[in-house]
Structure formats: structure tokens, C-alpha cells
């Protein structure tokens, strides 16, 4: 695996891109504190640009970022796929319990239009961010924007996954089954140091699975139950305010999940 990262500043920010070089072949890049741009090809057949973005909270700083990114189109003309935390909504229906910011929405929509990008619809939930207090504020500030060539060549769908630890929910973009033809593979050579390391890691994985079941009663299964319950409460909170009982249960579930995560660290 290969990666590129941008260090956080204080307690906020930070970006990380990880990719399999057998899937994505990197040919160029550009990055700063607010984005990582990777230029390359998928399976040596589809030239593209991938952008991981973290936009600032300040409206003026965001507008400046939009202008800077727009300038990159001339240097990286391949089809764009840009995703991350844009810290802005496109219309008022993407926000509940938050202040209205028409100017920011206008600048954001104008930026998307100039980049000639398409906003991929979100499946599974309405919003991607929730305030960490009593679930009173919701926004869809995380999204993925695709150039038209992506829509022609792929059948992409975007899913909002359960919001477990962060106040943002993870996004998963995936495609219907696609035949890419023969895929690259590598064979292990007996006796190489890398082969020995892989075998040891496999044995360690089996031992940890056994330890997990025998000592902690399968922590992963217990975590999955609480994750599903927390996700169900989140979906309910997107539709209506939670009752005091539901809020209390949400706090209990989060507390139990925190303890289970500490056990496996």
C-alpha cells in the first residue's frame, strides 16, 4: 500500500490518502493543508484526478480555497473525483438546527458549476454531520463530487455509514460489479524475509481471534450490536427530536462502545 498525508494543525485538520498501487497508479500530486490531489490512472485504463479535501469553517477562507482549487483544473485536466468535508451545504434542506448562510451556499454551488462536477446523491441517511451534544444540529457537509466522465464510465453509489466515533459519518462510494479483466497479482517466494513476515502475521491473526473469543466473548460481535443500535438511534434523530429515554440510551451505548474499543487497543 502507498499513502500520502498532511499533518493536522492543533486538534483539527489532517488528511490521509491510502491506495493500492495495483489499483491506482500515481503519476503526479499536489497538496497543502486543505487538500491532497492525486493524479494517475485506475488499472492503467482510466486517467483521473482524486482530491481529498478538508475545507475551513470560515466563509472567506472557503471562498479563497474554492478559487485556488479551480486553478488546478488547467494543470490536472483528467476527470475529477473530489470528496471530503466541504464544511458547506448546497441548499437549506441540507441543514437542521443550524444558522443559515446563503452567501456560503452561493459560493459553493458556483464553485461546483465552474468545476463542472456532479454531486453524487447520498443513500442510507440524510445528513453526514451531527453536533456531539444532544443531536439537535444536523448537516450534509461531507460529499463526493464527480466529473461527467466518471458518470459515463462507472455506476457509482454513495452511502452514508453509521456514525460511531466521529461527529461525521463515514462515506463509502462503490460501484456495481464491474469486469476489469485480468488483475495484477504477485507470487510469494519461499524463503524471502517478506514471506516469513506474512506467515507470522497470519499465525498472529489466528491467535488473536481465538483470544478474542475465549477471553472477551467475541468483542467484535458485541461492538457490532452496539454500532447497529447507535446507527438506528442516529437515523431516528434525523427524523425527529429524541426523547429523554432515547438520549439516555444513546449515551449508554456510546459509553459501552468506548469501553469495548479500549479493551481491543
Overall pTM surpassing 0.85 (yes/no): no
Rounded (5°) CA angle 211-213-216: 85
Position 195 scores a pLDDT of: 61
**Domain, as residue range, for 117:** 2-175
Residue that is last in its domain, among 129, 146, 175: 175
Q: Report the CATH number at residue 160.
A: 3.60.10.10
Are 155 and 204 found together in one domain? no
Q: What is the dihedral of CA 144, 150, 151, 157, to 10 degrees?
A: -40
The count of structural domains within the chain is 2
User: Per residue in 132-183, pLDDT tens?
Assistant: 666 578 899 999 999 999 999 998 999 998 887 788 999 999 986 655 454 4
- For residue 181, tell me if it sits in a domain: no
Q: Which three cell numbers stand for residue 39?
A: 493524479
Residue that is last in its domain, among 175, 201, 216: 175
Are 56 and 159 found together in one domain? yes
Amino acid at each position: 500500500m502507498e499513502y500520502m498525508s498532511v499533518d493536522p494543525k492543533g486538534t483539527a485538520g489532517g488528511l490521509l490518502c491510502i491506495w493500492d498501487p495495483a489499483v491506482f497508479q500515481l503519476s503526479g500530486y499536489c497538496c497543502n493543508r486543505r487538500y491532497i490531489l492525486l493524479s494517475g490512472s485506475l488499472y492503467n485504463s482510466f486517467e483521473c484526478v482524486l482530491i481529498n479535501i478538508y475545507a475551513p469553517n470560515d466563509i472567506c477562507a472557503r471562498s479563497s480555497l474554492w478559487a485556488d482549487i479551480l486553478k488546478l483544473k488547467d494543470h490536472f485536466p483528467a476527470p475529477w473525483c473530489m470528496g471530503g468535508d466541504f464544511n458547506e451545504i448546497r441548499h437549506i434542506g441540507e441543514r437542521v438546527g443550524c444558522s443559515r448562510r446563503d452567501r456560503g451556499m452561493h459560493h459553493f454551488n458556483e464553485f461546483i458549476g465552474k468545476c463542472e462536477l456532479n454531486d453524487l446523491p447520498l443513500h442510507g441517511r440524510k445528513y453526514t454531520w451531527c453536533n456531539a451534544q444532544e443531536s439537535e444540529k444536523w448537516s450534509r457537509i461531507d460529499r463526493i463530487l464527480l466529473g461527467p466522465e466518471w458518470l459515463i464510465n462507472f455506476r457509482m453509489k454513495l452511502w452514508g455509514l453509521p456514525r460511531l466515533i466521529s461527529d461525521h459519518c463515514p462515506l463509502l462510494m462503490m460501484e456495481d460489479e464491474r469486469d476489469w479483466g485480468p488483475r495484477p497479482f504477485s507470487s510469494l517466494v519461499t524463503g524471502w524475509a517478506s514471506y516469513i513476515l506474512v506467515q507470522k502475521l497470519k499465525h498472529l491473526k489466528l491467535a488473536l481471534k481465538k483470544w478474542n473469543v475465549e477471553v472477551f466473548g467475541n468483542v467484535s460481535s458485541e461492538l457490532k450490536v452496539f454500532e447497529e443500535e447507535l446507527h438506528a438511534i442516529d437515523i431516528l434523530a434525523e427524523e425527529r427530536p429524541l426523547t429523554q429515554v432515547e438520549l439516555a440510551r444513546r449515551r449508554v451505548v456510546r459509553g459501552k462502545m468506548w469501553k469495548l474499543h479500549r479493551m481491543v487497543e
